[in-house]
Amino acid sequence: MDTRLHLRIILTALALFFALGAGETGDTGGDGGTSTGCGTSTLPPLIQDPSFDLWCGDELCSWELDEGQIAQVPTWHAGDHGVGLLSDPTIISQLSPGTHRDTDCIWFTLMVDSDPGVTVQLEIDFRDDGITEYAHPIASTDWTTYSYHIRPPEGFEQLRFRIRKTGVGNATLAQIMGDRADASLCASQEPTLYRDLPLGDSCESASECATGICEGHQLISHEPSLSGQIHRSCGECTPTSCSEGQVCGLAFTDGNLPYSACMEPSAKVLGEACIDSGECGSAVCCEGRCSECCSSTDQDCADGGTCSLAPGNGDANTLIMPWMCDPRDRDRLHGDRCIQNGDCASATCAGQRELKICDPSGQPCERDSDCPEIAGEPPRCATIGPYDGACLLDQPAWTL
């Protein structure tokens, strides 16, 4: 048997061996499977048909031809076929089942041959949105096997692998193998960054966003582990970039994703999500929501009252309620700000409508389906109380 054909058979067998879970096992970080240095035992590989063996007529069965022409051609052995990328350019791609929940590290084993002046490039489009976040030329000298690892970004539900050939001349792919690897193998690398993300998309740095701005806001959640965490998203402003008479506050896209935007000051009511005190009619933004006071920033009650979270109200846990001075103390009179009946001497707190916010992202909502999943928390729409609530009537109406 030809030495190189024998080598390729060994490489393929080893990859399948590791993909089936051989070797040292470990935690995959989410779905209960076991992982090894080269793959997982319970998940499908990230790339199907890595050796280009499956053809449906003149087309690859597992790869899409996005542009150009391809053909089944011999590689470095007449009995071993790969795919020839014939035109300039030629692009093939494959949608992968990997997500951020099961893919902490990706390993590749690549074998390509191309003529001088021809470039073959491996690209990865995380989120499959048409934007390539990772691109790297594939070494292609004399069928040399080339292997390496990359660390993916967070927050993708799918990814697309793409092979792009440019230049006039031959380019033949013998193997493009890729699968999950133990996170420890990518621990020394920085995560791959997204590019040109739109408003509201999660981000890690400003360079990932089309606007060049990545700002954070505090999550408001009934889960103590999430409450107060910072969620960063692509925005339109920073705290100092708005024009005079405006404030950089928390807005929401048509798809209900949070982002920073310049807005009129003092427009938000008690209980609404915020990132700046200037957004709130109460002039206090405390731990992500408009409040009357804030213990964590020493914004005390003017009358010497006790600053605390308002008690839970119906389906709203105390942890997502606003900070108030002596909440439910029954001492507020007609026209005073309130969030629930127990704040008022008359036991009547009313507003224009109900104030409902998403737990944990904070945007206004009507139902759970209006709320996006953030930080793995299932969408939940919670009723805080009346919107712009005020106490009605002057006389107490309590029955003791």
pLDDT in tens, 359-372: 998 999 999 999 98
396 pLDDT tier (thresholds 50, 70, 90): low
What was the pLDDT predicted at 204?
87
Mapped to the 3 state alphabet, what secondary structure does the chain carry? CCHHHHHHHHHHHHHHHHHCCCCCCEECCCCCCEEECCEECCCCCCCCCCCCCCEECCEECCCEEEECCEEEEEEEECCEEEEEECCCCEEEEEEECCCCCCCCCEEEEEEEEECCCCEEEEEEEECCCCCCCEEEECCCCCCCEEEEEECCCCCCCCEEEEEEEECCCCEEEEEEEEEECCHHHHCCCCCCCCCCECCCCECCCHHHECCCCEEEEECCCCCCCCCCCEEEEECCCCCCCCCCCCEEEEEECCCCCEEEEEECCCCECCCCECCCHHHECCCCEECCEECCCEHHHCECCCCCCCEEECCCECCECHHHCCEEECCCCCCECCCCECCCHHHECCCCEECCCEEEEECCCCCECCCHHHCCCECCECCCEEEEEECCCEECCCCCCCCC
What was the pLDDT predicted at 162?
96
Q: Which amino acid is at 386?
A: P
What was the pLDDT predicted at 18?
38
What was the pLDDT predicted at 374?
78
Chain centre to alpha carbon of residue 371 = 14
What was the pLDDT predicted at 139?
77
**pLDDT surpasses 90 at 62:** yes
> CB-based contacts of 269: which residues, under 8 Å, 6+ apart?
280, 281, 290, 355, 387, 388, 389
**pLDDT surpasses 70 at 81:** yes
**pLDDT surpasses 90 at 11:** no
Rounded-to-integer distance, Cα 205 and Cα 194, Å:
9
**pLDDT surpasses 50 at 7:** no
Rounded-to-integer distance, Cα 322 and Cα 364, Å:
15
Rounded-to-integer distance, Cα 197 and Cα 126, Å:
11
What was the pLDDT predicted at 48?
94
What was the pLDDT predicted at 235?
97
* Closest CA relative to residue 154, chosen from 84, 110, 104: 104
Chain centre to alpha carbon of residue 357 = 20
21 pLDDT tier (thresholds 50, 70, 90): very low
What was the pLDDT predicted at 80?
77
What was the pLDDT predicted at 42?
79
142 pLDDT tier (thresholds 50, 70, 90): confident
What is the rounded average pLDDT for all residues in the chain?
A: 86
- What 297-303 contacts at long range (C-beta under 8 Å, 24+ apart), as own/partner pairs, is 301/325, 301/326
**pLDDT surpasses 50 at 39:** no
What was the pLDDT predicted at 395?
59
* Closest CA relative to residue 290, chosen from 307, 278, 301, 274: 274
CATH of domain 3-186: 2.60.120.260
**pLDDT surpasses 90 at 47:** yes
Phi, psi of 41 (to 5 degrees): -90, -15
Q: What is the mean pLDDT of residues 161-173?
A: 93
313 pLDDT tier (thresholds 50, 70, 90): confident
Q: What is the pTM (predicted TM-score) of this model?
A: 0.68
* Closest CA relative to residue 375, chosen from 230, 239, 243: 230
Rounded-to-integer distance, Cα 167 and Cα 118, Å:
4
Worst-scoring range by mean pLDDT, 5-19, 36-50, 75-89, 329-343?
A: 5-19
Q: Which amino acid is at 160?
A: R
Q: What is the mean pLDDT of residues 281-285?
A: 96
> CB-based contacts of 13: which residues, under 8 Å, 6+ apart?
none
For 151-160, the pLDDT digits (tens) are: 999 888 889 9
What was the pLDDT predicted at 78?
66
**pLDDT surpasses 70 at 27:** no
Q: What is the mean pLDDT of residues 11-38?
A: 37
Residue boundaries of the structural domains of the chain: 3-186
For 176-195, the pLDDT digits (tens) are: 999 999 999 999 999 998 88
What was the pLDDT predicted at 297?
87
Rounded-to-integer distance, Cα 190 and Cα 183, Å:
12
Rounded-to-integer distance, Cα 358 and Cα 375, Å:
13
What was the pLDDT predicted at 227?
87
Q: What is the mean pLDDT of residues 86-92?
A: 95
